[in-house]
Amino acid sequence: MRIHSGEKPFTCSVCNKGFSQSGYLKTHMRIHSGDKPFACSVCNKGFNRADVLKTHMRIHSGDKPFACSVCNKGFNQACHLKTHMMIHSGDKPFACSVCNKGFNQSGDLIKHMRIHSGEKPFTCSVCNKGFSQSGYLKTHMRIHSGDKPFACSVCNKGFNRADVLKTHMRIHSDTVQHTRPAVTADM
């Protein structure tokens, strides 16, 4: 009945959040205590709720029970499918207040806003250059490490970024076009 009435008599003493049942409050208190009584038998990662552990186990099993009705791509969580469906619908509910660019996840908008604010919270430990996203820093670190994970399938030359490899591949497509035999009119 409390669900229908909205009554929440059980209140968290730390953050004042209310709950309709005492069990919900008990589970919630694990957030504040850091208690994680449910452990993954594969990787030992701990969780504060059994249902979250069950969802986590799909990572190890490869189980993807949520399938896209458009492209049949599978997902291990319903929320991931919901986000994916926005690709097909074109729905981008999170818009930048500066340039009006749309995003289908709020986290992507938050990352984007760093471009406008100039915030660069990720700093290279070698040269102190700042980056607005952790992925940009990860890519930058390849300059210092010499890592070139993107290799050309034609000449085997390595590159530190996928877009540079893509540009490089034009060299080979031009070469291939120039070496093709000419088509004669008398065929």
Strand duo 158-159 + 66-67: pairing: unpaired
The segment(s) of the chain belonging to CATH 3.30.160.60 are 2-33, 38-89, 94-145
**What does DSSP assign to residue 122?**
E
Is 94-145 CATH 3.30.160.60? yes
Give the separation between CA 103 and CA 113, rounded to whole angstroms.
11
**Architecture of the CATH domain 150-179:** 2-Layer Sandwich (3.30)
**What does DSSP assign to residue 95?**
E
* pLDDT tens sequence for the chain (187 residues): 888 888 999 999 999 999 999 999 999 999 999 999 999 999 999 999 999 999 999 999 999 999 999 999 999 999 999 999 998 999 999 999 999 999 988 989 998 999 899 999 999 999 999 998 899 999 999 999 999 999 999 999 999 999 999 999 999 886 544 433 334 444 3
Is 38-89 CATH 3.30.160.60? yes
Residue whose structure tokens are 């969580």: 77
Residues ≥6 apart with Cβ < 8 Å to 6: none
For residue 16, give the H/E element and its range: none
Strand duo 46-47 + 38-39: pairing: antiparallel
- As assigned by CATH, the class of the 2-33 domain is alpha beta
pLDDT at 173: 80
pLDDT at 180: 38
pTM of the model: 0.53
Give the separation between CA 45 and CA 62, rounded to whole angstroms.
17
Determine the Cα angle at 87 with ends 81 and 92, to 5°: 105
pLDDT at 2: 80
- Picking from 68, 33, 30, 82, the residue whose alpha carbon sits closest to that of residue 52 is 30
- Picking from 102, 99, 105, 101, the residue whose alpha carbon sits closest to that of residue 85 is 105
